[in-house]
Structure 1
Amino acid sequence: MAQSLQSFHTFSLPSQCQHFYQIDEVNQLLSTDFSAPFCILGEGSNTVFLSDYQGSVIHMNTKGIDIEQQNDGFLLHIAAGENWHQLVAMTIANDMPGLENLALIPGTVGAAPVQNIGAYGVELEKFVSYVEYFDIATKTIKRLTKGECQFGYRDSIFKHALKNQAVITQVGLLLPKKWQPVLSYGPLQLLSEPSPQQVFEQIITTRNSKLPNPSELANAGSFFKNPVIRNEQLALLLKSYPELPHYFVDAEHYKVAAGWLIEQAGLKGFKVAGIEVHQQQALVLVNHGNSTGDDLIAMVKHVQQQVWHKYQIALQHEVRLINAEHECHIELGASS
């Protein structure tokens, strides 16, 4: 029976799927039909359905948090369907800091390792002890260590070798008892010897001032990845754009701010049908309604083209785009 997906992804394009499975208990996965195509979905905050999906959507809704106190930290065992921000708020309220920089990131705990979510100088991998998943081929539960997850910038093994092979069921996070705040980004630099609660509140204030609430204005959060470029290219760009925000990655690479690139290309407020580059934060695309997947594709291509022509940087979208049968990528190379 067809199921509307408009309310299951926060960008809220009109679409539906052939079959919809809500997973409230892990053992339900044993009887779930994984015939291709299928799509694993949490809260849909980083997924956009571009059209009707000719397959099954498997909605992870499992709940539960167990806390194991160790000598030097707290090991949290968290079900995939738990809300990420609510988890962060719980840890701060219970004197288990560490995740405060990741406050207000939308989505579920199970989706977090796929993307290796990050914000304000902190990435999830810093705290991962393990990721547990249901192996679709063998119908067994398996567990990966942090190293085995192959984390990178907005990347993990779940986007590559285990793509369409695994359903994340539980995540283990280790929060050290010795708190080490990360205050190197933006308004956090203005805080003097803050408490974890103060950092948490500052992150929420900052994000709310920049990012639209998807329950009020449909969006999928930060739409594009911050590009990682070589030192040589950064040096050339800084000659023309000395104010370009950039962040050290390694000896040969820096990360530059995609939102700044888009804004300086004059794209704030640019519209395709009801889809707009957000007025307050150019990294976000919003959907005012009466829009289609084709409109979104046109918007993404236009942003990529304008940024390429101005800076010779090829933007990649961070948001997962799903067409009729599978995930798809909109790429623009140098030839654009």
Structure 2
Amino acid sequence: MGGYTLIENAPLVARNTMRVAARAKLLAEIRDATKLPELLDFPAIRNGRLFVLGEGSNILLTGDVDGTVLAMETRGVHVEQDGDVARIAVAAGERWDDFVRWTLGQGFAGLENLILIPGTVGAAPIQNIGAYGTEVAEFIESVEAWDLVERKVVTLDHGACAFAYRDSLFKRNPNRFIVTAVRFALPRSHALRLDYAGIREELERMGVEKPAPFHVAEAVVHLRTRKLPDPAVIGNAGSFFKNPIVAAAQGEALKREHAELVAWPGANARWKLSAAWLIEAAGFKGMREGDAGISNRHALVLVNHGKASGQELWAFAQRVIEGVQARFGVRLEPEPMIVGG
């Protein structure tokens, strides 16, 4: 069929970076976004559950998917130059890391701190991906999506996307929108973010005195490679737990009790706490039950050492959440989507 392929009882183990051996009742691989209305009108798809999948780097499958998994495999990058700003429309199926590297090669700035994050461009606004002091929302001008309720293509500007920390309108309405393209506004020149998680120290190790965006990207690659386990080697979805945000009074009380606590006072009398510090201090870093565990390299990373099921991984994650809450009175939340059977 033109523009898409349908596969029944499709294995998903190679389509999620946690390497969970789940299956989909129906897998629809779509290569042409204009074919979405036709595809979604199939009775088997229209009357059942629909789940959109990118590279599967931000999900935990806790069972088989009794419905249709829609894999966005669209491609395309279109650039319009507007003075010192490039407006770039990118198809949802493009790989995020490939796009970041392309922007750096073109001399555009802004996304350098977000290099080496797995996943697709279409997934980036849903999660409002962020790393090393940068969130993607800062550079998103608009998002094009298929609205499943209105049954039409819609373009949502930056404000309508309602971006927040690891959150967006799309994440809060998972059954409403299918992201088909993202439009970025990237400058030629942008103030570099160097004050987060060892970037300056890494640049010094590299012998760089006057960093450019590509230097920052290289430093981030070094840092991520050292800290985070490779999904190709051991199943994981990167950072599994969000950094919790608490009232300033609670943050201050915790800091008085635990002087080593890593925390960042923020706006609106709120503090962001380091989930990694909380997990490690609660004794979970490197812990393992069967094939489910927490990485010994980074306490934020839930790992599949072999053939752990999604239910086993989720049960272990809940044990971590409950352990941190019992120790510090702070409840962690998962960063990936938890997709049940």
Choose which of 59, 66, 82 in structure 1 pairs with 2:71: 59
Matched residue type, 2:199: L
- Is 1:177 equivalent to 2:194 in the alignment? no
- Paired letter, 1:184: D
Take 1:200 and 1:260, find their aligned partners in 2: how far apart are those partners? Answer: 25
- Quote how far apart the aligned CAs of 1:232 are: 0.5
Distance (whole Å) between structure 2 residues aligned to residue 297 and residue 197 of structure 1: 37
258-267 or 135-144, which deviates more = 135-144
Give CA-to-partner distance per residue, 1:289-327, whole Å, 9 cap, x none: 231222112201110111011110000001111111xxx
Contact 1:39 1:57 in 2 (8 A): yes
Instruction: State which of 242, 266, 272 in structure 1 corresponds to 2:289.
Output: 272
Which of 252, 275, 290 is matched with 2:269 structurally?
252
Question: Contact 1:272–1:296 at 8 Å: present in 2 too?
Answer: no
> Of residues 1, 13, 26 in structure 2, which corresponds to 1:6?
13
Distance in 2, matches of 1:165 and 1:294, equals: 26
Q: Which amino acid aligns with 1:132?
A: E
The aligned counterpart of 2:86 is 74
**1:251, CA displacement in angstroms?**
3.3
After superposing the two structures, state which structure 1 stretch, 187-196 or 261-270, moved more: 187-196
Q: What one-letter code is carried by the residue in structure 1 that aligns with 2:178? A: V
User: 1:215 Cα shift?
Assistant: 1.0
Quote how far apart the aligned CAs of 1:194 are. 1.1
One-letter amino acid matched to 2:23: Q
Q: 1: CA distance between counterparts of 2:329 and 2:47?
A: 41
More displaced 10-residue stretch of structure 1: 184-193 or 70-79: 184-193
Deviation track 1:218-260 (CA, whole Å, cap 9, x = no partner) reads 1111000000111101111111222211123313111111111
What stretches of structure 1 of length at least 5 have no aligned partner? Answer: 325-336
What runs of 5+ residues in structure 2 fail to find an aligned partner? 1-7, 40-44, 204-208
- Structure-1 separation of matches of 2:20 and 2:297: 22
Deviations 1:104-146 (A, max 9, x none): 1110000000000001111011101000001123332110010
Q: Indicate yes or no: 2:315 matched with 1:298.
A: yes
1:201 corresponds to which of 199, 215, 218: 218
Secondary structure of the residue aligned to 1:186 is coil
Q: How many corresponding residue pairs? A: 323
2:159 aligned to 105, 127, 147, which one?
147
* C-alpha contact (below 8 Å) 2:293/2:313 kept by paired residues: no
- Alignment correspondent of 1:113: 125
Give the Cα separation in 1 of the matches to 2:47 and 2:55: 22
For 1:174, give the aligned amino acid. A
* Equivalent residues of 1:84, 1:105 under 8 A apart: yes
Write the letter of the residue equivalent to 2:96: W
Corresponding residue number in structure 2 for 1:31:
38
In 2, Cα distance between equivalents of 1:115 and 1:253? 21
Deviation at 1:27, TM superposition (A): 1.8
Q: Taking structure 1 as the reference length, what is the TM-score of the superposition? A: 0.93
Please give the per-residue CA displacement for 1:156-203, whole angstroms capped at 9, x wherever unaligned. 00122x421110000001012322111110212334431111100000
Deviations 1:243-284 (A, max 9, x none): 211123313111111111101111112112201100010100
Q: How far apart, CA to CA, are the structure 2 residues paired with 1:109 and 1:62? A: 10
Look up the SS of the partner of 2:233 in the other structure: coil
Q: Which moved more, 1:277-286 or 1:66-75?
A: 66-75
AA partner of residue 80 (structure 1): A
1:41 Cα deviation after fit:
0.3
1:188 aligns to what?
Answer: 199
Provide the C-alpha distance between the structure 2 equivalents of 1:11 and 1:67, rounded to a whole number of angstroms. 34
* Contact kept? 1:272, 1:298, Cα under 8 Å: no
- 1:19 equivalent to 2:48? Answer no
Is contact 1:128-1:171 (8 Å) kept? yes
Structure 1 counterpart of 2:216, one-letter code: V
Question: 3-state SS of the aligned residue for 2:323?
Answer: helix
Aligned mates of 1:43, 1:250 — CA distance in 2: 34
What is the RMSD computed on CA atoms of the aligned residues? 1.2
TM-score (norm 2): 0.92
Contact 1:34 1:136 in 2 (8 A): no
